[in-house]
Each structure stands twice: as C-alpha cells, then as structure tokens.
Structure 1
C-alpha cells in the first residue's frame, strides 16, 4: 500500500512540478529570445533599405539577437505597414518606415489600420534632406534649367517617385505647386526602383536621399540640382529656398515602430538598444559613409512629434488637393 501511495504521490508531484515550471517559464524568459524581424514597406535599394542594412549589422551587439530585414513593398507602403499592424505585439516584428507613410496617408485615403492607435514609437533613427537628381549628362545643368523646361512643356518631363503620397511624391508636388510648373509623376515601388528608372533613362528626374545618391554622385553618373532646406549641403548646389521653394519641404524621418500593445519592458529594451546604437563608433562611421546623420529620439518624445506631423499633413493634403 505504501509503495502504491508513494508512486501516486510522486506522479502528482511530477505533474504539478511540470505545470509550475511551464507557468513560470514565460515570466523567467528575457526578451529577446529569438531573432527580430524589421519590415520595410518599400522596395530594395532605397535609402531605407541601405540604412537598415547598417542598423541590423550593429544592433545585435546590444540585443544579443539578430535583426532581420524583410522588404514588403506595395500599395504605397500600406502592405508592409498592415503586416506589422496585424503581427503579435511581442517585439519580434517591427516596422521601419517614414513620416509620410506613417502620418500623411491617413489624410489621403481610408487605411486598413489606424497609424495613431495601432503603432507606438521605438525610435526615430535620423532624418534626411531630399535632393533633386538628374543624370550627369542630362540637358538640365542647373535647377533653373529644369524649372524653365518644365514650365515650357507642362507634363513633358518624367519624374520617377517612390509611390503616391510618399517621400519623393510629396516634395515633388509641393515644389510643382510652389514654382508653378508640372511634371509627369511616375510611381515606382520605392526610392531604389525610382533611382533605377533615372539611371536606365526611363525618367528625366527623380529625388533621393544621401544614402542612395552618394555612390552615384561619387561615380559621376548622377548630378544634384537642389537640396531641401535653407542651408546648403553641397557648396555649389542651391537649396530649395534659393530656387524659390519655401517652407519645411523634403525632410524624411526614418522611424522604427512597434504594434501598439507591445509590453513596456520590451519597448524599453528596444529603445535602449537604439540609443546605444546611436553612440556606437562603428555605426557612426558606417552611417557617415552613407552620408546620413544620426539623431535618435525614442518613445513618447517622437510620438508627440507624430501627432504634430498628423495635424500638419492634414493641412498639407488639403492644400495640395485644392483647386
């Protein structure tokens, strides 16, 4: 009898112990336990892709797990964005996007997600001024040449961009309205494909950011005609302000977002890793080679900026679509 009772007791203890261990294991687990996927809702070869390759090569040092890039272009960035909105809020699927996809598109059309409610900021990595680019052998030697030709032949100049209401489309639309000219805006699935359209001769002009343009400038295949902002980036290239385009036009913020219900401790781990990344010497050097800056803003601080962007973009869309 004793032996039977002992065996039953041991069996009960074994089952109970297993149940306790199973119930405790999630609490004991430390994030991250597996690789993290960073979804880019744009095509290959653009500035986001290039920046992401640098980020994901260094940040595993601070997360002790790999970060894997997944390109999911389509619908002007909505396809990849919706994928992350529908992903589990566990910190293993992040979105690497920009301010136009994030906060402007909602004012243009009804989205299958709510950017303000469905996402929260992990970190804003940097911001970049856009540039107007043509081939080195283009007949448009200066921005004034391009403006004059555009006014003389409305719609005759093909401008490749990264998708309607995206990071290349918006400043192009603002520039056309400000200068009273018209381009034929042709959409591609991201800045990389738009740049390839220029390089192949399928477009007369495009816009781009330092990381995607710098190697082509160095190689002498692409020429910059103007850059965003009031201050010159290149000594011999005018700014948008100098050619008559006023306002805060052509700046893209690269931001990492997570699904809104991601636990606070997971967000904190991710944000701390990005802050450390921003101070990493190798990361700083590699971003410098791309011609990109580094300015990490985390969590609530950039979420407040997102709210301000939404208000500004609502007014912008109303202005650009007004007759």
Structure 2
C-alpha cells in the first residue's frame, strides 16, 4: 500500500501552495524550489549534511525566484550557499540541473551526473540547432505548421539550455558520490537518470523516476534510436527491489510503499500499451500525432498545449517504438510516421 508520509507537502500541493522546508531526518532536509508556469509547480531539492558542509541532490529551475528560494531554503537548514560542497544531479532537465552551474560559481561545489546525461547536456548546448532538431522531430511525428508553432518554443526559450553546466564528475551505477549515498542508474525519463539510495536510513531519493501520483514522462527524444520505455520498465523493476522504507521524490510529496507504487506504474504502462495497440488497429496508417490526440490524457486533448503537448506526443512515440521492438506494430518507411499492426 502507498501511504503519503509528506502530509504537509500533500496539503500544500492540494492548495497549490509551496510547501515549507522540512527536516526529513537528522542531517537531511527537503527544500521546495518553485517552477513558475509549470503544472508541477516546484522541485524538491534535498540537502544532505556533510562533515564540512552540505551536498544538494538537484538544484532547481534557472530563474531568479528559484535562486532566491534555494538560498532561503538553505538558510532554513542552517547553511549558506558557500557551504555547498557538491550537487548530485538526478537528470539533466532544467528544473533539476538548471541552477547547478550558479551554485558552483557561488560556492566552488562540484557537479556530478551520469555520463549519458552529461552527453545530453553537450548535445543541447546550441539553442538554434536544438530548435531545428525539435522542429524536424515534430514534423516526423505527423505535426503540421500549426503544431510546430504550438509546441516548439522560440529561440529565446531555448537559450536556457546554454545555462546547463557541464559536470565536474561522472557518477556511475553503484558509485558513492558522498558517504552513505549509493547511486542507482534508472534510465527511462532520461538516459542517465540517477536515484540515490541512503542505505543506512533506507531512503530512496528518487528524482523523477518514481513519483507518488503520476508517471514520469517517457519520451523518445530527437536523435534517440533506443527504447526508453523498455529501459524505464526494466529499471523500475530493479528499483522496486530496493529495501527502501520511504521514497523522497523530486515532485509532489514523500511516501512509503515503493513496491506497490512500482506495480501500479507497470500496470499503467501495460494499459497504455494496450490502448495504443487498439488505436493502431482501428486506424491503420495513423501518425504518431494522430494516435496521441486519440489517447486518454488527464485533460481533453485541446487543453494539452505547448511543451506539454510535445511531451505527450513523445510519450506516445516511446510506447509505439516499444511495441515495434516487440513485434506488435510496424512503422512505415516514409519520412513521417505511419503505424499499422504487424
């Protein structure tokens, strides 16, 4: 059974408020850092006490409001920004990695992340090339001019990727980047996503890998040719075997019942794969975009807009690719996706 332990966090979430800084355990705090304009509203940055300072797990969204919240949150934990010695990045997305470079500049802290996500940061360092690749990806999924205008941000929006700092250290599966914390490689949401397991206190700092209420977005990004959904399901199974008494996610609120939550996520994706298969059977030759528009989402498709719509199409594409690798569906050879049953 999944039981919410971050009850104050959940109450704040339901009220659409920012939760307070909380001491989760002696020497371990959660710091909410706001994400203006995002339905996720905030990232939970975790501060771990070190003998000579503090380490952060993630850093937050690269905005002035987030920066102020991070500094104030550290102060509530009894630390100054200059006390930060390390930033352990769960994955490269800007809401987690965005402020890491600023923290390093202010404190001299080192930044650590998985090699595959370090490569992703390098591949997105040119905003103009990034926008060009995203535009081509949208068209290949079946999107038209209006879809490009709706889901591809301006070049100015892409500039934030320049702020994503290259890591100083690479963290691999099983490494202990700081004493008592073991890295667990959990690909899926990104290729190099990491969770961090506190073995003594049996706590899983889960990043976006396991969330209490929603499934993380699993997208087949431009330039990828692998099976991110297959990776996610495999790493999800592995995560469920960890002896974790409590899960500390990067969004929403803390909870117990890791194995039951893992089982629920597996069931969700099995149902989603079945729904995608039914849609392909009902409309042979449909594009990825058309299939995405017919799927069941948390809100009606016309309300799924902007980057969220692009993420929804990317998740649909990841499910179709997973089905294709399993021999259930076939993608046509045209430049634009067209799917049919195998």
Flag the structure with higher helix content: 1
**RCO higher in structure (CA 8 A, sep ≥6):** 1
| Bin for the TM-score computed over the shorter chain | under 0.3
* Higher alpha-carbon Rg: 1
The two structures have a TM-score, normalised by structure 1, of 0.25
Normalised to the residue count of structure 2, the TM-score between the two structures is 0.24
